Structure 1
Amino acid sequence: MIKLPEADGTLTPYVPRDTAETFPADPAPFRTRSMLATAHVLGDPLADNEPLGPVGPTPPPQKLDWDATLAFRRHLWSHGFTLCEGMDTAHRGMGVDWPLAAELIRRCGAEARAVGGRMAAAVLTDQIEPFEPCTLKDVQAAYEEQLAVVEEAGAQPVIMCSPHLTVAARGHDDFAEVYGALIRQSARPVILHWITSEWDPRNTEYWGHEEPEPAYDALLDIVRAHPGKVDGVKIGPADLDRQIAWRAKLPEGVKFYTSDTTDYARMFVGDERGHSHGLTPVIDPVIPLAARAFRALDDGDDATARELLDATLPLNRHLFSGEGRSIYFFRTGVTFLAWLSGHAPHFRMVWGEQSARSVPHLATAYRLADEAGAFPDPDLAERRMKLFLTVSGADQ
């Protein structure tokens, strides 16, 4: 029995499950869904990493726990998922700058080659100073520098939005010029990743339009202009009905990737109108459970897949809850659960983000993960949870 703190400060007794389901590893790729999973990183617990973000004009770089970071990626590959590296789940732009992201991509690329894992990686322009004036040529050069690193690592390029391009571009033609050059240069079909202005105000008028429908049509123009060179598009946030409508407008063979965190079972299972693929952080805390669901989809067993995915929804809805930018601290919950699961020997994060969620929030994450059967060793998870609660002031 464990006493879990509630939001009102009270302690509620909870009896964890005493057995774990067995999910045999299977590194074979899924046959019917393309599933790109983003993964968290671990901070070096003994490094002098500055918490709370940059301090001073040239903050010291963060240091990662490479052993634990790479071990978690091997776990992800062992269940058939494709790693999508260098995203916000890995603190990109929030403690992990371009030099460290490049090292992360290179190391993970080498690890992927060693174990036969599949990998995609983000291509941005974050080596340009945030407020530095830049031209279209500057933006394209920055994109190309990162594209070269991603391709050298053997990863599929995921071309992200560039706030610098938003400033430099004078209309859709400028977006089409820059993106067209990148798509033509890429040796592999790319994924075009659009974060709308709802999440990032810097992306207002991305693709040359302020309203989402004409902006999406402009994105489709770029996709259609490069047949066979665009693997898919990823757009967020957008409500599910709009995602389904946009998915239907894609040219045949171009995938629609979703990162929905509230009803993703509906998107992945799909219906007579089709289904979506995943470029998503929701896999990180439930890797074996999700893998079993996608194997069921491969076997045509939609009912089992839906049941398995629905069972993970309460946990992910909690992890990704929050008002405003607090939702970005989902990394704290997923990293905490990985520690409880035994995937790392510590719970230390970049920028000291292990403190970004409250003790009751993490206690609820523990309970929901246990109820979902997400812990490979419930006894270990309980011991570590009690240790965490004790040092947090919730005596057991």
Structure 2
Amino acid sequence: MNTIQLPTPTGALERYTLVGTPLQVGRPAVPFNRIALSAAHVVADPFADVDPSSGGKIDWDKTLEYRRYLASLGLGIAEAMDTAQRGMGLSWQESLQLIRRTRAELSDSRVPIFNGCGTDHLDPASVDSLDAVVDAYLQQVDAIQTAGGRLILMASRALARVARSPDDYVSVYRRVLAQVDQAVILHWLGDMFDPALARYWGTDDLTAARDVALQVMTESAHKVDGIKVSLLDKQREIDMRRLLPAGVKMYTGDDFNYPELIAGDEQGYSHALLGIFDGIAPAASAALSELAAGRRDRFDEILAPTVPLSRHIFRAPTRFYKTGIVFLAFLNGHQSHMTMLAGQQAMRPLPYFVDLFKLADAAGLLMQPELAIARMKTVLACYGISQE
């Protein structure tokens, strides 16, 4: 029997027995009827003798191996996004290398790959004009397009700092979109993910901000594939989805309410561009296969227990959700350690990991139960908790 002694909130130990049945998932038999992009994490090199404040060093073999795993489950890749610690340990230079390597690694795969394009090589404090923001975006646009990559235009900290009105946002996006070769995905990331993006689109009124984004897309609809909305507010996403220009897709970034948003309603549905799909990849793949086969009830059944897990992983402060994603990869044997770029493995407390372990079990996402228990014991030992 798979049991382990886990600490309670008071510090006492209690016996916990695994209750979940690991999902049995293979390569999808039929294509999904939703576009599914997983924002993928990077694996750090735990042996690198570097100052964590510098970011760290990437273990390229394990990082690319994980992308092959995601692709084997039918999931596309949203590369070099915030899940990969973009702006929180992953530099633009490393991001471009990651984009190039992933494209080469998955060249024989049929899954879609989009790539984060931003202005993060700039110090926002040094930016004093909209022209500088446009030039920064276009530098990354050119580099990614030269590598043959599709673009996700990420929200810009520099733009959020220098813009003075909604018109400034419209102007910058108009100029950048005019230079893209293929339709892009826009990215509206709420300040719960990045406090530096507060008042994005030039206002703190989210309805007014939505209308600015809609104006951008309407003016350049032929240059916009879709928009990813990460506000953790399902009704706002649904309302915006119903107002999108013809042919422009909604990609949910709502890691709290993704099942119902992907399933949709009589007026439409959202595609997926989700950080949580990194952590729950087997469940995401299995559920999307069921949805494509017309079995909505089974889709809901598979994803329902993943929602408490996802809400826990993305709990406030939300920007540290990557720590939970890496912990799941460690438990499931995709990497041998929890080390992260910039020392981000330290950004969650022990009770967070204990509850995550239980929730992953309940969702059937501890794929190798004995290994997961052994690795959880290793983590507990680091906190002075013995199983004797």
Q: Same fold (TM over 0.5)?
A: yes
- 1:393 aligns to 2:384 (yes or no): yes
Give the equivalent residue in structure 2 for 1:36.
Answer: 37
- Alpha-carbon distance in 2 for matches of 1:216, 1:134: 25
> Counterpart in 1 of 2:10?
8
Secondary structure in structure 1 of the residue aligned to 2:222: coil
Alignment of 1:263-302 (within 5 A): 263-302=257-296
- Among 138, 163, 179, the alignment partner of 2:173 is 179
Out of 299-308 and 179-188, give the one that drifted further: 179-188
Which secondary structure state, in structure 1, belongs to the residue aligned with residue 48 of structure 2? coil
Structure 2 stretches of 5 or more lacking a match? Answer: none
Identical-pair percentage: 38
- 2: distance between equivalents of 1:158 and 1:62? 25
Query: Is contact 2:331-2:375 (8 Å) kept?
Result: yes
Q: Distance in 1 between matches of 2:366 and 2:151?
A: 32
Aligned residue among 93, 97, 100 for 1:103: 97
Tell me, yes or no, if the aligned pair for 2:123 and 2:158 is still in contact at 8 Å: no
Q: 2:337 aligns with which of 346, 355, 365?
A: 346
> How far apart, CA to CA, are the structure 2 residues paired with 1:295 and 1:27?
8
1:167 deviation in Å? Answer: 4.0
> Structure 1 residues 263, 210: CA separation in 2 closer, same or farther (over 3 Å shift)?
closer
Where do 5+ consecutive residues of structure 1 fail to align? 55-59
Q: Could you tell me how far apart the structure 2 residues matched to 1:199 and 1:351 are?
A: 17
Please state whether the residue corresponding to 1:235 is helix, strand or coil: strand
Give the deviation of 1:248 after TM superposition.
0.7
TM superposition shift of 1:107: 1.4
d(CA) in 1 for partners of 2:86, 2:92: 8
- Matches of 2:243 and 2:232 in 1, distance apart? 15
Tell whether 2:210 aligns with 1:216.
yes
CA contact (8 A) 1:39 1:84 kept: yes
**Matching of residue 382 in structure 1 with residue 376 in structure 2:** no
- Does residue 133 (structure 1) correspond to residue 103 (structure 2)? The answer is no
Contact 2:20 2:361 in 1 (8 A): no
Give 1:294 deviation, angstroms: 0.8
- Kept after mapping to 1: 8 A contact 2:193/2:319: no
The structural deviation recorded for 1:44 is 0.7
1:131 counterpart SS class: helix
Cα offset, 1:87, TM superposition: 1.3
| 1:70 and 2:71 correspond | no
Report the CA distance between 1:189 and its aligned residue: 1.0
The answer on whether the counterparts of 2:37 and 2:273 sit within 8 Å (CA) in structure 1 is: yes
CA contact 2:44–2:340 (8 Å) conserved in 1: yes
CA–CA distance in structure 2, aligned partners of residues 13 and 82 of structure 1 = 39
Q: CA deviation at 1:198?
A: 5.8
Q: Note if contact 1:16-1:382 (Cα within 8 Å) is conserved in structure 2.
A: no
CA contact (8 A) 1:50 1:352 kept: no
Does the CA-based 8 Å contact 1:119-1:154 persist in structure 2? no
- Give the secondary-structure state (helix, strand or coil) at the position aligned to 2:228: strand
Query: 1:264-314 CA deviation, whole Å, 9 max, x = no partner?
Result: 212111222321121111111110111111111111211111111112112
For 2:195 and 2:385, locate their aligned partners in 1 and report how far apart those are by CA, in whole Å: 40
The 2-side partners of 1:372 and 1:210 are apart by: 36
Q: 2:201 aligns with which of 202, 207, 210?
A: 207
The normalised TM-score by structure 1 is 0.90
Among candidates 253, 258, 262, match of residue 252 of structure 2: 258
User: How far 1:176 sits from its partner (Å)?
Assistant: 2.6
1:373 and 2:373 matched: no
CA distance in structure 2 between the partners assigned to 1:389 and 1:347 by the alignment? 13
Equivalent of residue 336 in structure 1, options 309, 327, 335: 327
Residues 40, 275 of structure 2: 8 Å contact kept: yes
TM-score by structure 2 length?
0.92
Q: Could you tell me how far 1:3 is from its partner in structure 2?
A: 0.7
Alpha-carbon spacing, 1:153–1:377, altered in 2? closer, same or farther (3 Å):
farther
Confirm or deny that 1:20 pairs with 2:22.
yes
1:47 counterpart residue number: 48
CA contact (8 A) 1:43 1:349 kept: yes
Amino acid at match of 1:372: A
Cα distance in 2 between the residues matched to 1:364 and 1:196: 25
Q: Deviations over 1:88-111 (max 9, x none)?
A: 111111111211222122211221
The equivalent residue for 1:361 is 352
Question: Superposition RMSD on alpha carbons, in Å?
Answer: 2.1
8 Å CA contact 1:17–1:378 kept in 2: the answer is no
**CA offset at residue 360 of structure 1?**
2.4
SS of 1:395's equivalent?
Answer: coil
- Among 81, 86, 90, the alignment partner of 2:84 is 90
